[in-house]
A and B are shown apart, each in its own frame.
Chain A
Amino acid sequence: MAFTVPKEVYNGKINQVEVGKDQQVIFGGEEVLPFLSFEGKAVSNVPLALEIQDIDPGDWAPSLTDIYGPVMGNPAEWAKLCQDEFKADMICLRLTGTHPDNGDKSPEEAGKVVEAVLSAIKVPLIIFGSNHTEKDAAVIKHVAEVAANTGSIIGKAQEKNYKTFAAVATAYNHKLVALSDLDINLSKQLNILLTQSGFDGKNIIIDAMSSTLGYGLEYTYSVMERIRLSALQQNDAMMQMPMISDVGEVTWKIKEAKATEEEQPGWGAVEPRGILWESLAALSFLMAGGNLVVLRHPKALATIRKTVAEF
């Protein structure tokens, strides 16, 4: 029996999304499983974003504060450093200072930060709240307006607040990250709710709830693979949105990325360990169908960029 290249037949494809204004970035649009260019149009561009915050986070690991220390607390400078020095394709601004337990900054204060960051950068911006569904809805109403017509990505819309997010994303021309709880059905459900409320499904980006190695990675990985398979094989329009992996935040709070060699003899040097933890989590999610990655460490960004270039 002679060998024939085992190609799959796919019925659907992933939506292509274009973001930004001054410097546009395109992602998605693939028609086959991740990076399998032998069988068709595969993922070619994976934008890599670096995360910044509206306030000095206070609890970031030394591996990160050694790099960002001088600009932490100055979001515009921080964003510029990530864009100019570390060549981030996008900046992801997380408004952690708006959380009621973490400073409770007002929507107007957040709006000023968004304005400053937008005027400091040319690459597209991702704006996330503090993962407090009520407060996020109040904050996004204002900051989405501040960022009107910049083609930014806003999030994260969840089941409890998606209506507000959908309304402002439509009104001010933003793309929307829809976050659900680590379950393919919940993810699909949220996309259905969003489109039924009149939001254009082509402007949705799925967040299947990111995790990291040793902390639930296998669940996220399999949910993402299943979402990709149902988009491509079953041509399910409610699963054909590009997917985002928000791995920096979940990685850099775990012990394995932070504990020094003195604290954990046998684990090796802390900095490369943290970078690799973040890189491998990002890589795994790219293997499972991710299109866009949010990272914290610039070396993780460089490593993933180099790897993607090899595909």
Chain B
Amino acid sequence: MGLTGIQIFKYLPKTNCGDCKFPTCLAFAMRLAAAQVRLDACPHVSEEGKKILNEVSAPPVRLVKIGAGDRVIETGDETVLFRHEKKFNHPPGLALAIADNLSDQEIEQKVQEVNNSTMERVGQQLRVDLISLQDKSGDAARFSQVAKKVAGLSSAALILQSLKPETMKAALIETAARKPLIYAATQDNYSQMAALAKEYQTPLTVYSDQGLEALSDLVDKVTAAGVEDLVLDSGARSSGKMLSDLTQIRRAAIKKKFKSLGYPAIVFPGEGESDPLMEAVRAGIGIAKYASLIVLNSIRKEALLPLYTLRQNIYTDPQQPMQVAENLYKVGEPAADSPLLITTNFSLTYFIVLGEVENSKVPSWLLVADSEGLSVLTAWAADKFNAPKIAKLVKKQNIEEKIKHRNLIIPGYVSVLSGEIEEELPGWKVLVGPREAANLPKYLRDMA
């Protein structure tokens, strides 16, 4: 963002009409300067104003969309270098590479792996978002046939990987409606690839392994040819080069406003690496440091859950704690006489308590109260975890029908609540558990 609120204000209609939902044009301008609203919220700005403001208010990393329908992958649109400054906007899309020279059966199997890659964590559906089809056959007919087949078998977004314009065109004819990402325009083929991206209205990858200056020069040529939705590949394949190039690309875009590198970047952590552990660790570098698309050669289940979890962790909003749903959760296979514990719905609190109850090996009931994502002590201090709320929750969850005892274990830090809860819940006895979750296994075992 180059302009201040006052500078932006000059280009607004200054009518204070309120159509943007802000009381004055100046208020709107200030929000715009802070990148908290988009210019199109103002229906009255002049064409000239729009042109100037769009130019300066464009995010330093362009938002590029791949795919169609409900499986559109949004990448880029990032504004900061460190996650504590502000939320990272778009988690990197994970893709599985599929070579077109595999047998039809192997291809189907790999597509199924992608289709079955969904896992749930903290209420989010996590999955492999794209399929990257690689031209290994060298045969345009085969490539387009496989592209059509894959598009039919999966609704995942597509990346088409071939350096031959005629092969790319053959596949685009079959899949253009899916808005695949073309990979890639190089020094040798960029004018034809740019023409294809324009003709079929798809995003385009720009590839150069001759340094970032050469890459940015090539980007300029492609944008001059009229294609703006770009993805960058600097050819970095080792961990060190990946980290260094991704950092330089993102920094140049955000800190230097260097538009020629202001695009999302794609990496291939499995290229030249046969060890799936190493591939996954390299993918982790991409997740932590600025990759927007990560193409994997293998997506084993045991690697997916840790990668999804890392991606979720890095891309959570640092200002907004992750929450789990208010509910009565089973730990193990609890019976009507199993212990009942209560805690708050801050995801970290929940996972740590859950983990320690599991470690105790004592089947239990875990009641999670909506504390708006606050941890136990903070929630208590903010009056979001108090006796009336707890009593109401116990009644709402029909606990008296599921559990025959009337003992509720509360976190040690809120022992002061015990009397009040017993008043609110006649017939119940409150037991004060340990302060730290780490002491739960001993507590539960001693109780059993």
Residues of chain A touching chain B, judged by Cβ–Cβ distance below 8 Å, are 1-6, 8, 35-38, 59, 101, 213-219, 221-222, 225-226, 229, 253-256, 266-270, 272-273, 275-277, 279-280, 283-284, 287-288, 299, 303-304, 306-307, 310-311
Among A36, A215, A256, A276, the residue within 8 A (CB) of B348 is A215
A256→B239 contact, CB < 8 A:
no
Taking the closest CB of chain B, its distance from the CB of A52, in whole angstroms, is 20
Interface assignment of B35: CB less than 8 Å from any CB of chain A: no
Chain B contacts with A in 253-297, Cβ cutoff 8 A? 255-256, 258-261, 276-278, 280-282, 284-285, 288-289
> Which size class do B's interface residues fall under?
35 or more
Known: A1-B260, A222-B318. Contact between A38 and B307, CB under 8 A? no
A268→B301 contact, CB < 8 A:
yes
A267→B305 contact, CB < 8 A:
yes
A280→B280 contact, CB < 8 A:
yes
Q: Which residues of A contact B243 (CB under 8 A)?
A: 35-36, 287, 311
A253→B359 contact, CB < 8 A:
yes
Taking the closest CB of chain A, its distance from the CB of B296, in whole angstroms, is 13
A229 to B304, CA, bound (A): 31
A270 to B84, CA, bound (A): 32
A-B complex: 5 closest residue pairs judged by Cβ atoms: A268-B301, A268-B302, A310-B239, A273-B302, A6-B251
Taking the closest CB of chain A, its distance from the CB of B106, in whole angstroms, is 20
Segment of B23-31, B350-358, B393-401 in the binding face? B350-358
14 pairs, CB–CB < 8 Å, chain A vs chain B: A1-B258, A3-B213, A36-B244, A38-B248, A218-B318, A221-B314, A222-B82, A267-B301, A273-B305, A276-B306, A279-B277, A279-B284, A304-B281, A310-B239
Among A215, A218, A299, the residue within 8 A (CB) of B314 is A218
Apart from A6-B255, A35-B243, A253-B355: 6 A-B pairs, beta carbons within 8 A: A1-B258, A3-B213, A3-B260, A36-B247, A221-B83, A276-B280
Q: Which residues of A contact B306 (CB under 8 A)?
A: 213, 256, 273, 276-277, 280
A82 to B282, CA, bound (A): 25
Taking the closest CB of chain A, its distance from the CB of B226, in whole angstroms, is 20
Q: Which residues of A contact B278 (CB under 8 A)?
A: 303, 306-307
Interface assignment of B90: CB less than 8 Å from any CB of chain A: no
Taking the closest CB of chain A, its distance from the CB of B240, in whole angstroms, is 4
A218→B300 contact, CB < 8 A:
no
Taking the closest CB of chain A, its distance from the CB of B89, in whole angstroms, is 15
Known: A272-B302, A306-B278. Contact between A3 and B310, CB under 8 A? no
A8 to B280, CA, bound (A): 29
Q: Which residues of B contact A59 (CB under 8 A)?
A: 359
A183 to B148, CA, bound (A): 52
Taking the closest CB of chain A, its distance from the CB of B87, in whole angstroms, is 11
A215→B303 contact, CB < 8 A:
no
B302→A307 contact, CB < 8 A:
no
Interface assignment of B216: CB less than 8 Å from any CB of chain A: yes
Q: Which residues of A contact B46 (CB under 8 A)?
A: none
B240→A256 contact, CB < 8 A:
no
A275 to B281, CA, bound (A): 11
B284→A35 contact, CB < 8 A:
no
Taking the closest CB of chain A, its distance from the CB of B90, in whole angstroms, is 16
Interface assignment of B170: CB less than 8 Å from any CB of chain A: no
Among A2, A253, A277, A287, the residue within 8 A (CB) of B213 is A2
Interface assignment of B154: CB less than 8 Å from any CB of chain A: no
Contact string, B114-138, partner A, CB cutoff 8 A, digits 1/0? Answer: 0000010100000000000000000
A283 to B288, CA, bound (A): 9
B288→A284 contact, CB < 8 A:
yes
Taking the closest CB of chain A, its distance from the CB of B258, in whole angstroms, is 7
B82→A229 contact, CB < 8 A:
yes
Among B261, B284, B305, B318, the residue within 8 A (CB) of A256 is B305
A189 to B84, CA, bound (A): 20
A213 to B284, CA, bound (A): 11
A253 to B316, CA, bound (A): 23
Report the nearest B residue to A214, measured CB to CB: B309
Among B244, B259, B309, the residue within 8 A (CB) of A37 is B244
Interface assignment of B238: CB less than 8 Å from any CB of chain A: yes
Taking the closest CB of chain A, its distance from the CB of B374, in whole angstroms, is 14
A307→B212 contact, CB < 8 A:
no
Q: Which residues of B contact A253 (CB under 8 A)?
A: 355, 359
B240→A310 contact, CB < 8 A:
yes
A94 to B414, CA, bound (A): 31
Q: Which residues of A contact B255 (CB under 8 A)?
A: 6
Report the nearest B residue to A59, measured CB to CB: B359
A221→B313 contact, CB < 8 A:
yes
A267 to B117, CA, bound (A): 10
Report the nearest A residue to B255, measured CB to CB: A6
Q: Which residues of A contact B281 (CB under 8 A)?
A: 276, 279-280, 283, 303-304, 307
A235 to B301, CA, bound (A): 44
B305→A284 contact, CB < 8 A:
no
Interface assignment of B442: CB less than 8 Å from any CB of chain A: yes
A229 to B243, CA, bound (A): 18
Among B83, B213, B312, the residue within 8 A (CB) of A222 is B83
Q: Which residues of A contact B432 (CB under 8 A)?
A: none
Interface assignment of B252: CB less than 8 Å from any CB of chain A: yes
Contact string, B218-251, partner A, CB cutoff 8 A, digits 1/0? Answer: 0000000000000000000011100110011001
A303→B277 contact, CB < 8 A:
yes
Q: Which residues of B contact A3 (CB under 8 A)?
A: 212-213, 216, 252, 258, 260-261
B310→A213 contact, CB < 8 A:
yes
Q: Which residues of A contact B285 (CB under 8 A)?
A: 283, 287, 307
Report the nearest A residue to B213, measured CB to CB: A3
Q: Which residues of B contact A269 (CB under 8 A)?
A: 300-302
